[in-house]
Amino acid sequence: MDVILLERIARLGQMGETVKVRDGFARNYLLPTGRALRANEANRARFEAQKAQLIQRNEERKAEAQRVSATLEGKSFIVVRSAAESGQLYGSVSTRDIAEILAKEGFKVGRNEVELNQPIKTIGLHQVDIRLHPEVAVAIKINVARSPDEAERQARGEDLTTLEALYGPDEDELAEDEEAAEEEAEAEATAEADEETDTATAG
């Protein structure tokens, strides 16, 4: 379907351009949200008549998006999900989930504004871009963990996908580390004793 864009749409075109889009995308998103008109002579004349008003409305939306962006910048949101020991989620975190999480924190963001190529399927810190306006985007962090406690540990930089992080160091590895430390201490003591002997001999 050919449509006339009533605002700039990322990766699609600028305000006033006529572009070809999928019928479903036009019917379900562009047309009902007032972002485009079907491309015909009547709508082209309508666009030209309303152009100044549309530009003003776009500037107002952009200003509001910039205000929200300033409050969202650098924020981190915790999502608690069940996951396997490897860190693989039993479900996933989708654009809808992220929009709902932001709504609970007082940020009105539509799922279409959440730029996520595919649902999040592992625990960890994930950077997600929020496209608040065609010309305004902000990056947030989604901290996906099995519990609030794990989320705090991840925020401090811990990698909870390793067995050591989950259960502590392996006992065999600990024993090897202790043995290596003892050998190193013995070697240092021997070296010091030899040094003392050499000094006494030289004296």
Structure tokens at 94: 């989708």
Q: Which residue type, as a one-letter code, is found at position 142? A: I
Residue 191 to residue 183: CA distance in whole angstroms: 12
pLDDT at position 164, please? 42
Please report which confidence band the pLDDT of residue 10 belongs to, taking 50, 70 and 90 as the band edges. confident
User: Is the predicted pLDDT of residue 24 greater than 50, yes or no?
Assistant: yes
String of DSSP letters for 11-72: TTB-TT-EEE--HHHIIIIITTTTSEEE-SHHHHHHHHHHHHHHHHHHHHHHHHHHHHHHHH
Residue 79 to residue 55: CA distance in whole angstroms: 38
- Domains annotated for the chain, with CATH where assigned, are 2-64 (3.40.5.10), 76-167 (3.10.430.100)
SS3 content of the chain, % helix, strand, coil (to 5): 50, 25, 30
Structure tokens at 154: 């991840």
User: Is the predicted pLDDT of residue 199 greater than 80, yes or no?
Assistant: no
Task: Tell me the percentage of the chain whose pLDDT exceeds 70.
Answer: 80
User: Is the predicted pLDDT of residue 11 greater than 70, yes or no?
Assistant: yes
Residue 114 to residue 107: CA distance in whole angstroms: 12
Please report which confidence band the pLDDT of residue 103 belongs to, taking 50, 70 and 90 as the band edges. very high
Looking at per-residue confidence, does 192 or 71 come out higher? Answer: 71
Read off the pLDDT of residues 118-169 as tens digits, 9 standing for 90 and up.
999 999 999 999 999 888 999 999 999 999 999 999 999 888 776 444 444 4
pLDDT at position 191, please? 63
pLDDT at position 9, please? 85
Residue 102 to residue 93: CA distance in whole angstroms: 13
State the average pLDDT over residues 44-66.
Answer: 92
pLDDT at position 195, please? 56
On whether the CB atoms of residues 128 and 142 are closer than 8 A, the answer is yes
Looking at per-residue confidence, does 166 or 179 come out higher? Answer: 179
